[in-house]
Chain A
Amino acid sequence: MKQFANKKSEQANVLLCVLCTILIVSVIGGNVLFNCVTRFNVASSQVRGWKESLYAAEAGGDIAYAEVRKTVLDPSHAFSGWTNSGNSYSNSPVTFGRDNLTTSGTADVFYYDRSGNPWYRIRAKGTAPVLGLNRVTMDDRMGVGTRGDSLLRKIDFNYDHFVATYGPNGDGLSKALVPVSRPQVTRRIELIAAPITPFEAAIKCSSTFYGLGDAAMIDSYNSQNGPYYFCATSPADPHYGDSRSGNIEIGSAVATIRGMVYGNLATNGGTIVRSYQITGTIDNNVPFTIPPFSLPADLPMAQPSPTAITGNVTINPPVAGTPSSPVFYLVSSFTGNLTINQFGSAQTYVAIHTTNDITGTIDVKPGVRAQIYFDGNVNVKARDLNNESWIAGNLQFYGISPTDPTTTQTIAIGPPGNFAATFYAPSADLTLTGNPDITGAVICKTFYGNGNTSWHYDRSLDPIGDAVDYRIVSYVEDIR
C-alpha cells in the first residue's frame, strides 16, 4: 500500500512540474506576444494606415485638381458627375487601391483675380482602414508622463473623432458622434489651385531654344512704375528689383543661350555653356509642358463688321468692353492695315479672331487693350505691330493650336522696327530676325532668334490674361 501511495505522490509531482513549466513558458510567450503584437500593430497597421490616408487625401486632391484644370483645357467635361452648389463642387467617395482607401473632395471658387480668373480651394479627405480589432490601442510607451503615437496618429477606433470634435467641415458646426465600421485613419488636406496666366516669363518654349545674338540682352521692368530704362546693373536704383526678371524657361535640353540674361534660366536637362551671362539661378531639371491653346469659349457675340481686314480698316468699338467681355470681331482675313481706336476716353477692350494668317499691320491706340486670336500663321515686320502705348499687355496675340498636332504653326517677325506685344502660341515655331527692341513676352514651341535684340519683360504682364492652366500654389494639412 505504501508503495502504491508513493507512486501516486510521484505522479502528482510530475504533473505539478509540467504545469509549472507550461505556466512559465506561457507567461514568457504571452509577454513576447504582447510586445510583438503591440509593435506589430503600430508598425504594420497604424503607421501604414496613417501614411496611406495621406496618399488617399492627396489622390483626392489630384482628382479635384484635374477637374479644375478641365475648366480651361476641356471646359465641357469639367466637374462632370460632381455635385454643384453655387461655386462649390463635391464628389462622392472613391474607393481605390488594394487596401480599400477612400477619398472625396470639394472644390470651390473663393477668389477672382484682376483678369477675372477664378481661384479654387480644394479640400480633400483620405481614409485608410487600420487592421486589427477596435479594442487595439496605440503604443504610447515612451517616457513618464509623455505620450507618443496618439498625439501624431489620430486613429478612430470606434468613433470619428474629427466629426465629433470639430464637425464634418472642421468649422465646429454639426458635431456628431459618428461610429466607424472599423478602425480607420482619416487625414485632410487643403490645396489652392491658382490660374496660370500666359505671360509669366520673358521667353518660354516647350521645345528647342536658340538665341539671341551675342550682344543681345534680356532684362525686365514694371510698366506700372513708368517707362522702361535700363537699371539691371544699378543695385541702388529704386526699380532694380524689377529689372532682373528677364526669365527664360526651356522645356527641352536643346538650349543654346547667347547674350546677357538678367534673370533666371530653367531647362529640362540642358547644358548651359555661358553661365556667366546669366545673373539669376540656373536650374537644368525643370521639365514642363505647355498645353495646346483653344479659342476661349466665353467670348461674346461678334460685331457685324468688319468681317475681313483688307486694305485700310478702322475699328471704332461701340462700347468699352471689359477684360472678361471685350468687344469681339470675327474676321476671315488679316492682310490689310488695321487701326483700333479707343471708345471715348474709357479703357477699351477689343478681341479679334482671325481664321487665317496675319500678314497685315496693326495700330493699337492708347487706352485700348487688343487680344488677337489667329488660326493660321503670322508673318510680319516688327514695325507692323504698332502698339502706341508701348505697354506690351495692350497687344496680345494668341495662336490657336491646330487640331492636327502634326501641323506646324509659324510666327516670323523680321526687321526693321521695334514692337511691344505678347505672343502666346504654344504650338508655334517662332523666328525672330533683325536687332529689334522688344517689350513683351513670348510663349511658343520652338524659339529661334539670331539678332542682337534688347528684350524687356514687363512684370505687370504676370497677372494679365486668361488662365491657360492651373497650378497648386498652396498646401495645408488639417492636423487636428
Chain B
Amino acid sequence: MKLKSSQRIAGFTLSEMMVGLSLSSIVLAAAVTSGVTLQKSFNAVDNYFATHMQQIRIIDYLNRDVNRGLIVTTSVDLQSVTVAVPNYVIQSGDPEAIANPSLIGTPRTPTITYTSSGLQVNYSPSPSTVVYSISGTSILRTENGVVTTIASSTDQLVPQTTDVELTNTEYTTSSVTFMPIFTSAGSIAERTGTSLYATSYLRNRRRG
C-alpha cells in the first residue's frame, strides 16, 4: 500500500521538471529585473523630488533676502548674487553692543537722515552683505563671512538670477535647474524641464 501510494504521488518527469525550471527561471528573472528597475526608478524619483525640494529652498532663501534687500547685484554669469540687507538685530561687536552689551540680540530702532536724495532710513551705519554662490555641488549663502550650505546635490543644481532696476522699483527673476540622474537623449531639454522660476521685488524700492 505504501509503495503504491508513493508511486502515485511520485514527482515529475524530467521533461516536466525542465519546463518547470525554465518557466520558474524566466519568472524569477523577470521579477528580479522588475525589482531592480523599480528600485532604480524609485531612487530616481526620490532623488528628483529631493533635488526639487532643494530648488524650492534656494528660491525661498533668495526671495526672503531680496524682499528685505536694499541693493541687489548679480555676477556676469548670473550665478552669484549679492544682497545688502538692513542690519536689523544688534550683533556682538557692533558699536551699540560695545557701549551696552545688554543690547546684543535686540532689534534696532532706525534713524532718519537727510541726504542729497531725500530722507533715508538707516538701521545701522552699514548693512549686512549676503552672497549666494556655487561651490562644487553645493549652493552657499554667506552672510558677513558666515557660510551656510543651503543646498547640496550631485544633480548639478544651477541657480541664475537677473536683477532688473527701474526708476523707482527693482526686482529679481531667478531660476534654478538641475540635471536628473535619469535622462534620455538631449541633456539640455532634461535640464530645462526642471526649471523653477520666481520673481521677487525689493520691498525697499517700492513705488511711492
Contact = CB atoms under 8 A, between A and B. Distances in A.
Contacts of B207: 286, 288
Given A190-B107, A475-B67, 10 more contacts: A39-B53, A121-B110, A141-B50, A170-B89, A172-B102, A264-B167, A471-B208, A475-B68, A475-B203, A477-B64
A448 interface: no
B152 A170 contact: no
Contacts of A43: 53, 56
Interface in B66-97: 67-68, 86, 88-89
Contacts of B203: 472, 475
A118 to B, nearest CB: 12
A462 B116 CA distance: 11
Contacts of A139: 53
Contact of A166 (B105, B149, B153): B105
Contacts of A474: 86, 110, 121, 123, 204
Contact of A283 (B9, B123, B138, B166): B166
B5 interface: yes
B150 A152 contact: yes
A152 B121 contact: no
A228 interface: no
A304 B150 CA distance: 71
A476 B53 contact: no
Interface of B: 2, 5, 9, 42, 46, 49-50, 53-54, 56-57, 60-61, 64, 67-68, 86, 88-89, 102, 105-107, 109-110, 112, 114, 116, 118-119, 121, 123, 138, 148-153, 166-168, 203-204, 206-208
Contacts of B204: 473-475
Nearest to B166: A283
Contacts of B119: 113, 194, 463, 473
B68 A143 contact: no
B106 A171 contact: yes
Nearest to B50: A141
B171 to A, nearest CB: 12
Interface in A172-203: 172, 190, 192, 194, 196, 200
Interface residues of A, number: 57
Contacts of B56: 43, 47
Interface string A143-159: 10010110111000000
A266 B208 CA distance: 12
A476 B123 contact: yes
A143 B152 contact: yes
Contacts of B50: 39, 141
A479 interface: yes
8 closest cross-chain pairs (CB), A and B: A475-B203, A283-B167, A143-B152, A474-B121, A171-B106, A146-B149, A281-B167, A471-B208
Contacts of A480: 89
A142 B168 contact: no
B154 to A, nearest CB: 10
Interface string A387-418: 00000000000000000000000000000000
Interface in A445-463: 462-463
B12 to A, nearest CB: 15
B166 A172 contact: no
Interface in A41-67: 42-43, 47, 50-51
Contacts of A478: 88-89, 107
Given A113-B119, A141-B50, A474-B204, A172 B88 contact: no
A339 to B, nearest CB: 33
B5 A266 contact: no
Contacts of B149: 142-143, 146
Nearest to A24: B35
Contact of B107 (A141, A151, A171): A171
A236 interface: no
Contact of A286 (B2, B116, B123, B168): B168
B53 to A, nearest CB: 6
Interface in A262-306: 264, 266, 281-283, 285-286, 288
B88 to A, nearest CB: 5
Contact of B152 (A2, A111, A146): A146
A286 B167 contact: yes
A35 interface: yes
Interface in A96-132: 110-111, 113, 119, 121
Nearest to B69: A475
Given A3-B5, A47-B60, A476 B68 contact: yes
A12 interface: no
26 contacts: A3-B5, A42-B53, A43-B53, A113-B119, A142-B152, A143-B138, A143-B152, A148-B151, A151-B148, A152-B61, A172-B105, A172-B106, A190-B107, A192-B110, A242-B116, A286-B168, A286-B207, A288-B208, A463-B119, A472-B203, A473-B121, A476-B68, A477-B64, A477-B67, A478-B89, A480-B89
B54 A148 contact: yes
Contacts of A151: 148, 150
A172 B101 CA distance: 12
A266 B167 contact: yes
A474 B119 CA distance: 11
B151 to A, nearest CB: 7
Nearest to B38: A28
B88 A190 contact: yes
